[in-house]
Structure 1
Amino acid sequence: MSTITVDLATKKYDVKIDNTLHTRIGQEISAVWSTRKIVLLTDNNVGPLYLEDTSRQLRDKGFDVLELVVPAGEQSKSLSVAGDLIGKMASAGFTRGDGLIALGGGVIGDLGGVVASLYMRGIAFIQIATSLTAQVDSSVGGKTAVNLGDTKNIAGSFYQPDLDLVDVTYLDTLTDRDLVEGYAEVVKTSALSDQNFFEFTGQIKSISDIREHAQELSQRAIAYKARVVMADEKEAGERQFLNFGHTFGHAIELLAHGELRHGEAVAIGMVAISSRFEQNGIMPKGMTDELLSRLEAVGLPTQSEFIGTTHFFDRLINDKKNHGGVLNLVALESIGNPVIVKKKIADMPAFMEN
């Protein structure tokens, strides 16, 4: 088993990575938490696969488990759903000494983190990440949020878990599309991290390669993200680098109205921003092609009709990285050397036309 420790000023926790963790959930959680009431939050995709066994393991260790299931998909990341969950917890008599476990992908992790942070001003929180997106990215680092209408991740908090369990055997039940969208975040992280990791993603030529090397991909991606989070927990500096491709990607994802997965939109966003920065001499020639080869090898989309439209620019205005009309965009001077490039939103149409 590989353990990566996230050691912050006010919190220290482990991210455990192993392909047998799903058989030891009760053991791992009882080593971190005393017996208490637990909300086990999942969605109606993951629930039929893993909820019963996970609940049994927790009850066998003496935990009092309340199972809460929400509809799968981005629509569950809302204040109304969060409020409904909080109401059910209050009715069940949950106190500040109890906890919440998010069993699922990025949506459940985000929703669970928001609910845990709000209930009685904060209760204990653990993530069991079942998607590649959650395992390599969203479950690590404490960023939790819900959407408001068409504005993504607008209401949330930095709320670190007490433990993060990453078991790649959960990926066996993902469709190829749901697996591959998470790989976009791996490619992003490899480009930000170093040449060695980037060369490793260059060796991934198929979906079966992702499945075969999932544990190593997760370990490398999590190790990089943990280093960044420990250096900049609240995204005041270098943690902003993790947004590479996300400013454009979030806009595209929202305009697609559910037709694109998050990672698919990020893949498009990375290519779009990289090609513009190459044309402007900020990124070296050929880097966009390097990204394209990795993304297209596994079938990720890399283009969108939404880029450069009026609606696209409208979405940029609501982006969290909009600071008084200026966007902090991420570019790569070279592999492993990301930089922030400030662009006025008013100048974005001209920038996109280049």
Structure 2
Amino acid sequence: MRNVRVSLGARSYTIRVGTGLLRELGRECQRLAMGRRCAVITDSNVAALHLPAALDSLREAGFEPLAVTVPAGEPAKRLSVVGSCYDQLAAARLERHSFIVALGGGVVGDLAGFVAATYLRGIPFVQVPTSLLAQVDSSVGGKVGINLRAGKNLVGAFYQPRLVLADLDTLRTLPEREYRSGLAEVIKYGLIADARLFARLERDLPRVLARDPEILESVVARCCQIKAEVVAEDETESGRRAILNFGHTVGHALEAITGYGRLLHGEAIAIGQVAEARLSAHLLGLPSPCVDRIERLFGAAGLPTRTRWTPSRWQRLLAAMRLDKKVRDGRIRFVLIPAIGRATWGHAVEEATLQQVIGPATSAS
């Protein structure tokens, strides 16, 4: 097992990465000195696979857990589902010292974290991510939220968990498409902060795709370490934390215009990262061979790298990008990479340039 510390003063917490950790959930929660009543928020897919083990572990440690099951998939991140969760917590009389366990992938983590941040003005929560994407990214750093029709994660908060338990055993039950989707975030960390990690993924991708526990423990822990360092420096995304959004300006907009769920998050940001790498080449001089390496690695991971743009679809993408949280003074801003392993943020890019580099005139299917 590997431990990664997220250093945020009194709100610091540990990320544990290893196998067999779901069995330790109750004992780990005991150490945090929280109330006896708790709720495990999960989705209908994960409930069938991992909810009994989580509930058993909590009960054995003396807790009184309530199971709250929400629909699977991105559509669960909406206000009506949040309201249903509130009603169930209130009916079970959860109190200020009660806590929530987020058991599932990124959607469950975002939703459950938002519920925890807002119920009774905030109660503790623990992240137990069961997808690769959640283990390396969304469960760490305290960004929680839900979607609106207008865009993704437009309602949310910065609210840190008390603990993150990343049990690699849960990845064995992950569908292949979901697993490969998570690799988009893994590759991102190499692109924005660690060229050696990117090269390792190029070299060891077959072992990663085979879900080799030894290499996964190392890779997942390294991704968490990078994110922990960035979050400790810039918790509320006023500066460097923006680099974690590489590929997300295009990716989030693509999710919005295709209807959440048609493209998985990792699939959308894979397309976004390749597009933003091409922007980086055009604007910052990222060498063309590096762009080729980036596109090749995403392709080898079984992820899409481009999409076909019709003029009307392109206009809808631009409209969605104008709602991105990084927009300032009406200008779309991007995270770009001058080199593999280094990212810079705050680049305002004109729409004419976007069209020239990644728009309908130059896109391929």
**Aligned partners of 2:125 and 2:79: how far apart in 1?**
18
Check conservation: 2:140, 2:227, Cα contact below 8 A: yes
Distance 1:86 1:306, change over 3 A: farther
Return the TM-score normalized by structure 1.
0.95
In the alignment of these two chains, the number of paired residues is 354
Check conservation: 2:18, 2:166, Cα contact below 8 A: yes
Counterpart for residue 242 of structure 2: 240
| Unmatched runs of 5 consecutive residues or more in structure 1 | none
Aligned identity (percent) is: 37
**2:235 pairs with 1:230:** no
Shift of 1:281: 4.5
**2:339 pairs with 1:334:** yes
List aligned pairs for 1:70-149, cutoff 5 A: 70-149=70-149
Counterpart for residue 21 of structure 2: 21
Counterpart for residue 322 of structure 1: 327
Counterpart for residue 6 of structure 2: 6
Distance 1:183 1:316, change over 3 A: same
Shift of 1:351: 5.3
Shift of 1:350: 4.8
Residues 62-113 of structure 1: CA deviation (Å, up to 9, x unaligned): 1111100001000100111111111111122111111100000000000001
Check conservation: 1:180, 1:207, Cα contact below 8 A: no
SS at match of 1:48: helix
Check conservation: 1:325, 1:344, Cα contact below 8 A: no
Residues 203-244 of structure 1: CA deviation (Å, up to 9, x unaligned): 133375451122221011001000000000000111000100
**Aligned partners of 1:210 and 1:138: how far apart in 2?**
23
Residues 291-320 of structure 1: CA deviation (Å, up to 9, x unaligned): 112111121110112487111111111111
**Aligned partners of 1:273 and 1:138: how far apart in 2?**
21
Q: Residue 262 of structure 2 is aligned with which of 259, 262, 266?
A: 259
Counterpart for residue 276 of structure 2: 273
Counterpart for residue 190 of structure 2: 190
SS at match of 1:204: helix
Check conservation: 1:6, 1:14, Cα contact below 8 A: yes
**Aligned partners of 2:189 and 2:60: how far apart in 1?**
38
Return the TM-score normalized by structure 2.
0.93
Distance 1:27 1:36, change over 3 A: same
Distance 1:208 1:282, change over 3 A: closer
Check conservation: 1:328, 1:342, Cα contact below 8 A: yes
Check conservation: 1:313, 1:349, Cα contact below 8 A: no
Higher mean C-alpha deviation, range 268-277 or range 95-104: 268-277
**2:175 pairs with 1:164:** no
Counterpart for residue 317 of structure 2: 312
**Aligned partners of 1:136 and 1:300: how far apart in 2?**
17
Check conservation: 2:248, 2:272, Cα contact below 8 A: yes
SS at match of 1:45: helix
Dislocated runs of 4+, deviation >6 Å: none
Question: Which residue identity is paired with 1:296?
Answer: G
Check conservation: 2:7, 2:13, Cα contact below 8 A: yes
Question: Which residue identity is paired with 1:68?
Answer: V
Shift of 1:159: 0.3
Shift of 1:20: 1.7
Higher mean C-alpha deviation, range 10-19 or range 40-49: 10-19
| Unmatched runs of 5 consecutive residues or more in structure 2 | none
Check conservation: 1:204, 1:297, Cα contact below 8 A: no
Higher mean C-alpha deviation, range 331-340 or range 112-121: 331-340
**2:296 pairs with 1:293:** yes
